[in-house]
Amino acid sequence: MANLQVNYLGLDLKSPIVIGASNLSDNIDRLKKLEESGVGAIVFKTLFEEQIELEELELDNDLEAYNERHPEMVRIFPELHHAGPRGHLHKLKKTKQALTIPIIGSLNCITPSTWVDWAIRMQDTGVDAIELNFYSSPSRFELTGAEIIESQLQVVADVKSKIKIPLAVKLSPFYGNPLEVIARMDKFGVNAFVLFNRMYQPDIDIEEERMKQTYVFSRSDDARLALRYSGLLYNRIQAQISAATGVVTAEEAIKMLLSGANTVQVVSAVYKNGPDYVKSMLAEISAWMNSKKYESIEDFRGKLSYSNLKDPFAYTRAQYIDILMRSSEWINPWFL
């Protein structure tokens, strides 16, 4: 029988499937079902400093709304405070205590000092590792790409020096050269890189003429970018790799492992199909391994990475050019 155990962030996981940071972690009973289904670890939903600051401001506005309606009234609700990050960390601690598989905290801050402060507090909840979620959406014209990178590098260095548990960094692909950024962060001792953030984009309702929020599930095609960089990074950095976005079937998971990823992060597939879907994914991975005579994931992980392929163009632009040049072989004759 195939052995699905892997090591990630220095933690022994029973499978390579990790539940990525999302609202799936809001419900402990749901997380217990995911644990029973065979997931190797769970990344708790991200603590967003920006969102908490907004919620605190909204609460203050609500509490102040009825103040001084009467000369004797100065403040109606003097003792009410927003739970903020403390409420989030309390839920994280309860989740860690309720489950037996590794729990990874996820953090996104907007001020340099806050990253370290809340990383330490998150560590104190008992989590097994921390994932820095570098979810950045620049809106200032004068902010340069170099400034963003230097700021993130400083955060990595500061947090890594202050915590004692493993550290993962989740990045977006929107750098001039993601490989260069990853290589620089790797030198600070980052234990794993998560590829990649799925950046949610704004949308507009043209009938109501207002902004709207639209949740779009990831698809199999979305996995190709992470697959590309997993393949390029395997055996070329010290850190491990977790491939995220677009892993919606066992096939994508196997591809990521073949490219060199240590684990895969799954969210959309569970939202759409429920916790038991993980069981079927693991069963398919196991069946594929048995058909190939692989006893463990390490027997084939990275087999099709850049480092192990004889074709030097497999992960480069040359492959893209070759596809364009041969487009007449598969394009609809109607267009010719």
Strand ranges (E), the chain: 6-8, 11-13, 17-19, 41-43, 47-48, 103-108, 129-133, 167-171, 192-195, 203-205, 210-212, 240-244, 263-266
Cα distance between residue 233 and residue 247, in whole Å = 18
Rounded average pLDDT per 10-residue block, the chain, 336 residues: 95 98 93 98 90 45 46 46 72 97 95 90 97 84 91 96 98 94 98 90 90 82 93 97 96 98 97 96 98 98 95 71 58 50
Smallest Cα–Cα separation from 262: which of 17, 44, 2?
17
Cα distance between residue 248 and residue 262, in whole Å = 17
Q: What is the pLDDT of residues 199-232, one digit of tens each?
A: 777 889 999 999 988 777 888 888 999 999 999 9
For residue 84, the surrounding DSSP H or E stretch is helix 84-98
Cα distance between residue 11 and residue 81, in whole Å = 37
**Do residues 208 and 184 make contact, with C-beta atoms less than 8 angstroms apart?**
no
Cα dihedral 319→321→324→326 (10° resolution): -70
Strand ranges (E), 9-117: 11-13, 17-19, 41-43, 47-48, 103-108
Q: What is the pLDDT of residues 73-92, one digit of tens each?
A: 444 444 434 446 788 999 99
Q: What is the pLDDT of residue 304?
A: 96
54, amino acid identity: L
pTM of the model: 0.86
Angle at 291 between CA 287 and CA 293, to 5 degrees: 110
Smallest Cα–Cα separation from 25: which of 93, 82, 124, 71?
93
HEC assignment per residue over 261-310: CCEEEECHHHHHHCCCHHHHHHHHHHHHHHHCCCCEHHHCCCCCCHHHCC
Class of domain 6-308 as given by CATH = alpha beta
Q: What is the pLDDT of residue 58?
A: 42
Q: What is the pLDDT of residue 66?
A: 46
